[in-house]
């Protein structure tokens, strides 16, 4: 690891390094999307190349698939895998019950499908993503392009009857054009500030015609691995009710990861 790595990137790296310790030989592993998940894919690839770890990886986006192949991970589809032993992914927010907001990278539909097809989901993150109540990070809602403005209006109408602090909605853009997911859909971001009842909100949103999926992950995450800028790592297992702390030591020669600092 080079000396120029920022504390936030160090936190992401050590969380990823600790999380891949859960992966065992022969596992089928869901590979998340995003900057933190990219560190994990690199760490897993290192185990494949240097330790001979045999795994099958199911990526949650085209960019994760490209990175996984680049680092030597055998990539297969979810249809080929059918069921996964483990999924490791990042999160934009998580609360004390390990409920999540995901989708900042626009891949939450595939991420949710893969995570729910796994025996366990492990989330890797840094301490800034921990919140008491979800909602400060905009909640992504994937919608089909046909009639998206009508769908957006229905979402706004629905929010008026729910216990959320903000009700602003915006179409996610890529430059001046709508952002397109890997499935060719749009994303409407909900700026809610505080979500009092994430479970209710998730159920209600997914009943609106035109909505494909939302970024609330309820009762899906089993373990959260929190990295810190000084190399400390916390591991919270909600099922076992355990909290562990550790420190990840790494050498400066680990700068193979420097291209992922973002």
Residues tagged active-site: 111
Quote the tokens at residue 151.
Answer: 């769908």
| Contact (CB, 8 A) for 98 and 108 | no
**DSSP of 154-186:** HHHHHHTTSSBS--EEEE-EETTEEP--TTS-E
User: What residues form DSSP beta bridges with 58?
Assistant: 30
* Contacts with 48 (C-beta within 8 Å, 6 or more apart), sequence order: 54, 55, 71, 72, 73
Asked if residue 40 lies in contact with residue 32, where contact means CB atoms within 8 angstroms, the answer is: yes
Q: Treating both helix axes as pointing N-terminal to C-terminal, what angle do 7-19 and 35-51 enclose, rounded to 10 degrees?
A: 50
Compute the 3-state secondary structure of the chain and give helix, strand, coil in percent, each to the nearest 5. Answer: 35, 25, 40
Q: What's the CA gap between 118 and 82, in Å, rounded? A: 10
């Amino acid at each position: 690891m080079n000396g120029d790595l920022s504390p936030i990137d160090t936190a992401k790296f050590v969380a990823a390094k600790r999380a891949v310790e859960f992966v065992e030989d022969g596992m089928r592993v869901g590979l998340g999307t995003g900057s933190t998940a990219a560190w994990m894919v690199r760490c897993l690839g290192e185990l494949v190349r240097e330790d001979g770890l045999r795994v099958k990886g199911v990526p949650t986006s085209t960019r994760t698939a490209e990175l996984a192949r680049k680092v030597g991970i055998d990539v297969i589809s979810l249809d080929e895998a059918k069921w996964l032993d483990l999924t490791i992914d990042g999160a934009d927010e998580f609360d004390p019950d390990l409920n999540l907001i995901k989708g900042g990278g626009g891949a939450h539909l595939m991420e949710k499908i893969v995570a729910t097809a796994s025996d366990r989901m492990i989330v890797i993150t840094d301490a800034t993503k921990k919140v008491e109540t979800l909602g400060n990070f905009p909640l992504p809602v994937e919608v089909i392009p046909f009639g998206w403005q009508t769908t957006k209006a229905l979402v706004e109408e629905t929010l008026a009857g729910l216990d959320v602090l903000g009700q602003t909605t915006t179409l996610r853009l890529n430059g001046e054009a709508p952002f397109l997911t890997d499935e060719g859909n749009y994303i409407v971001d909900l700026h809610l500030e505080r979500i009092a009842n994430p479970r209710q909100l998730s159920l209600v949103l997914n009943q609106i015609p035109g909505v494909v999926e939302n970024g609330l992950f309820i009762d899906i995450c089993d373990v959260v691995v929190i990295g810190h800028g000084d190399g400390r790592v916390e591991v919270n297992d909600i099922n076992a009710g355990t909290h562990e702390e550790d420190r990840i030591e790494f050498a400066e020669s680990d700068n193979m990861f420097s291209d992922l600092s973002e």
